């Protein structure tokens, strides 16, 4: 794909400064620009690069005034970063525009499928499954019996959705995501364990993105629920009957134990652990590697530690933690000094 | 599937109180009951719901005496929770009763297979593999050369069992489980590393359940062994030559390094790390996020921390940790006070 | 496969002491030797076993002088461990010598493939992909559009390589490895998030081994790069635009956030977390479960803790941490004693 500076400027409602006929066929960082590439300048820290970049076209903010000669054609827009992100998105859509049904795949005859779908080879669609319009099921993905998948959702290769789960519209499930495996429920019985059957499901609402290798277990009864707009990174563990509120974002390798309810608009760092049956208030922020052992009832708090408490307290505490050997020595000196004083005054 | 209250009561050896012909077709929590659903009351905290539930049938303990009007038909049993768990299990078995061989799948002609098996489309069975009776190999699962899989074991979609591994009877391996990948063994050699070939295998005994995305590496020589009745949650890492004793339960995202031996009946929390070449005694409990760096020789201990020590000591220590800034201030004040006294008495 | 002691001795340039015609068909640990097995003695701690082992042949160092009768045939070599590792490797190569194309598989007609490759059933090769010589694509592996895979590289079952990624020569990707899923990039927008399209790729250089379930995300722009000789254990998370230097080794379940650059020859323990946009100097060692929040600028340091600092300081600090309740008590006693002294001298 090759575009002229003018064509791109038109897509972005921008104005061209320089050669509007120069052609670009790829995107690059400004410091790695090459002839034929398109870049952008949004962060002032990178301004120096615009005078040396070999990129043919650079998107800049409308207020950018060069202080030296710029070889590249400039496209001036309202917000350079947003404009570039829009271009990335357009590029992405073109690259990932897969359609059609590759063979062999397996679609049970009782399943229903929408229009303009992509079904890769070795993809599997079980009994009574409902596949929406423009859904993409990449190769080796698995859609169990009775599963519903909303319009415009993509399952990358190797995604597995167990029976009876529901995936919303415009969701992206990356490779290796597993939805609806059994929750970890066992009842002790005479020295060993009996499995507690897990007959609930998982409901994932619209506009959710889930990173590679993340597992979301089905509920024992009822549903494990991931609300609208949630973004989950890679290798996250979500246990049975958990609920995650709208637009909450969770970084990689975090684990949430059974029946915990996470509020809306939370930001949870990587490798965090949250124990079961808690409630985490809306807008809570949790620092990476924290362990949360009690509910967070007041919205908007920031916590850290294992067990976690207020991040500002944690940081002040950790400063003292690092000088503990000194403190230990000081206490010994104090004890010695005190003993001497006692002797003196006795 | 639809059952009358009487039919269910008969399955559970219970007695019906109310309309024994009312029909139910689904299971629900008592607080989420709807007409046609069957629920249970086991936890006294939920007793209030029985007077308002819309569930058609509720299973209760034999000693339950309503204090108000109950609309639902009651089934009285010895233990309401156990009875409900039994129903869940029956339901599960019906829902997951898959049989037959879907096409295309790949079964090497040298492999042997038992009766009443399920082989999903795109499942793979390698050379000389032995598949027991009533085994279920879901779509996209992989059984390597010479693998043995015992009767009544289920491999959910995308499970991968490398060559030469042995899986016992009545095991459940959830989606994305990987058994028998190479252990992480490299010998330094002139600035880089030579791989140490891993030619052992993994042996998983009977009644083991393994959660989605969990990896168990093959031994360098000999076997990585998971004994009878072990329950592993999701995204757990078990390194080469590890041994896990009977009925030990491990929560999600825990990692156990090479050659460590875990005893029987242990309970290990989530996100725990255990270093290699240790021995953990029977009945040890390890709190979530702990790091275990030395062997636990005395059975029945409970430990926490990174590195971990006695949980009661850890908790007392953490109370003081949280007030470290105060302690620091107190020590400064003590030093100042002492200096003043010295001046006074000198 | 069966070999005589002499044949093995010849492979290893050793000398036989005992019956050079005795045959062996398997490898074992010396303490688990059985007739027909071949073992080795490298660690002096295991010397006692050589006098009792039932192994038919034992490889020993050239300086080994038995102090008692040894029943096994001995093969004397320069370095017993290295010789045994070489045998393991030969054995491995024989066992894993798969060739040919199993059906059904999916190879797009625009893809190119080298000689002596193995393509398992249900493996997928996308448009314009380039598969080198002697590459092994196990069943259910997925190679996206435009992917390049170098000679002698193995993708075990269920490996997924997204479009446009590049894998070097002689790499091993274990089951469930995911290369090139989207980086976790979202821009806040009016209470929810817009996805930042991730159009870069992943480049994996030669001689890299990656453990099962590990995920390496593609770059937003440019490349996430894993340099030559890197060894990654299982269930590791590598975020977008990360760079890992030559011959660095990382243990299981570690996570590295976006744009961080790890130097050469580092050794990173299990369950470590490293935040984004940092630089970690060459030869850095990081203890398991540490959290790294700031760049490490001086090469050769060893760090621990969350946040991490010098391991020797951490250890001294943790000794004091464990006696915090005592310290707390001592401070209270000091305060009390001081108050008494004040009263005495006032």
Q: What is the pLDDT of residues B286-324, one digit of tens each?
A: 999 999 999 999 999 999 999 999 999 999 999 999 999
Q: Does B235 score more than 70 pLDDT? A: yes
Q: How many other β-carbons are positioned within 10 Å of the β-carbon of residue A144?
A: 24
The confidence band for B1, taking pLDDT boundaries of 50, 70 and 90, is: low
Which residues of chain A have a CB within 8 Å of the CB of B29? 221-222
Q: What pLDDT is recorded for position B302?
A: 98
Q: Does C342 score more than 90 pLDDT? A: no
The crossing angle, in degrees rounded to 10, of helices B324-345 and B311-322 is 70
Q: Which helix (H) or strand (E) holds C327?
A: helix C324-345
Distance CA A323, CA B340 (A): 25
| B329/chain C closest Cα distance in angstroms | 11
Q: Does C1 score more than 70 pLDDT? A: no
The confidence band for A1, taking pLDDT boundaries of 50, 70 and 90, is: low
Supply the pTM of this predicted model: 0.93
Q: Extract the tokens encoding B135.
A: 């085994």
Mean pLDDT of chain C: 94
Greater confidence (B29 vs B301) lies with: B301
What mean pLDDT do residues C44-55 have? 92
β-strand partners of C17: C74
- For A258-287, what is each residue's pLDDT tens digit? 999 999 999 999 999 999 999 999 999 999
Share of chain B above pLDDT 90, in %: 83
β-strand partners of C257: none
- For B99-132, what is each residue's pLDDT tens digit? 999 999 999 999 999 999 999 999 999 999 999 9
Q: Do C221 and A331 touch (CB under 8 A)?
A: no
The confidence band for A44, taking pLDDT boundaries of 50, 70 and 90, is: confident
Distance CA B276, CA A111 (A): 49
Nearest CB among C89, C138, C229 relative to B193 is that of: C229
Mean pLDDT of chain A: 94
| A117/chain C closest Cα distance in angstroms | 18
Q: Does C228 score more than 90 pLDDT? A: yes
Q: Extract the tokens encoding A80.
A: 């350079």
Residue B92: active-site member: no
CB pairs under 8 A between A and B: 180
Which residues of chain B have a CB within 8 Å of the CB of A162? 156, 175
- Following DSSP, what letter does each residue of A230-287 receive, concatenated? -EE-TT-EE-TT-EE-TT-EE-TT-EE-TT-EE-TT-EE-TT-EE-TT-EE-TT-EE-
Q: Extract the tokens encoding A143.
A: 């859609």
Residue whose pair of structure tokens reads 């757990």 in the numeric block: B236
Mutate to test the interface with B, among A104, A125, A173, A182 (most CBs of B within 10 A): A182
β-strand partners of A276: none
- Do C218 and C235 contact (CB within 8 A), yes or no? no
Which residue does chain A place closest to B315, by CA atoms? A307
Mean pLDDT of chain B: 94
Q: What pLDDT is recorded for position C141?
A: 98
Distance CA B213, CA C19 (A): 48
Q: Does C283 score more than 70 pLDDT? A: yes
Mutate to test the interface with C, among A1, A174, A254, A345 (most CBs of C within 10 A): A174
Q: Does A179 score more than 70 pLDDT? A: yes
């Amino acid at each position: 794909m090759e575009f002229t500076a003018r064509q791109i400027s038109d897509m972005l409602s921008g104005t061209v400064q320089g050669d509007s006929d120069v052609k670009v066929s790829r995107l690059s960082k400004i410091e790695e620009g090459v002839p034929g590439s398109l870049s952008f300048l949004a962060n002032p820290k990178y301004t120096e690069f615009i005078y040396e970049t070999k990129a043919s076209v650079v998107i800049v903010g409308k207020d950018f005034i060069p202080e030296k000669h710029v070889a590249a054609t400039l496209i001036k827009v309202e917000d350079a970063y947003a404009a570039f992100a829009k271009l990335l998105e357009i590029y992405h859509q073109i690259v990932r525009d897969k359609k059609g049904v590759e063979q062999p795949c397996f679609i049970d005859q009782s399943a229903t499928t929408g229009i303009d779908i992509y079904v890769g080879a070795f993809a599997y669609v079980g009994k009574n499954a409902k596949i929406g319009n423009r859904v993409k099921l990449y190769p080796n993905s698995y859609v169990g019996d009775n599963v519903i998948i909303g319009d415009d959702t993509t399952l990358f290769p190797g995604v597995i959705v167990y029976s009876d789960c529901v995936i919303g519209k415009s969701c992206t499930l990356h490779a290796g995501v597993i939805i609806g495996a059994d929750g970890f429920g066992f009842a002790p019985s005479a020295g060993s364990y009996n499995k507690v059957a897990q007959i609930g499901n998982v409901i994932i609402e619209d506009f959710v993105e889930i990173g590679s290798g993340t597992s979301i277990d089905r509920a024992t009864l009822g549903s494990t629920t991931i609300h609208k707009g949630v973004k989950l990174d890679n290798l996250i563990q979500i246990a049975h009957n958990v609920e995650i509120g709208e637009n909450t974002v969770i970084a990689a390798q975090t684990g949430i134990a059974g029946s915990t309810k996470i509020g809306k608009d939370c930001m949870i760092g990587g490798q965090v652990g949250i124990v079961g049956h808690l409630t985490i208030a809306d807008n809570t922020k949790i620092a990476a590697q924290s362990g949360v052992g009690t509910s967070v009832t007041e919205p908007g708090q920031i916590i850290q530690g294992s067990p976690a408490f207020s991040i500002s307290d944690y940081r002040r505490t950790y400063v003292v933690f690092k000088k503990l050997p000194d403190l230990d020595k000081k206490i010994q000196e104090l004890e010695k000094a005190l003993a001497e004083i006692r002797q003196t005054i006795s």
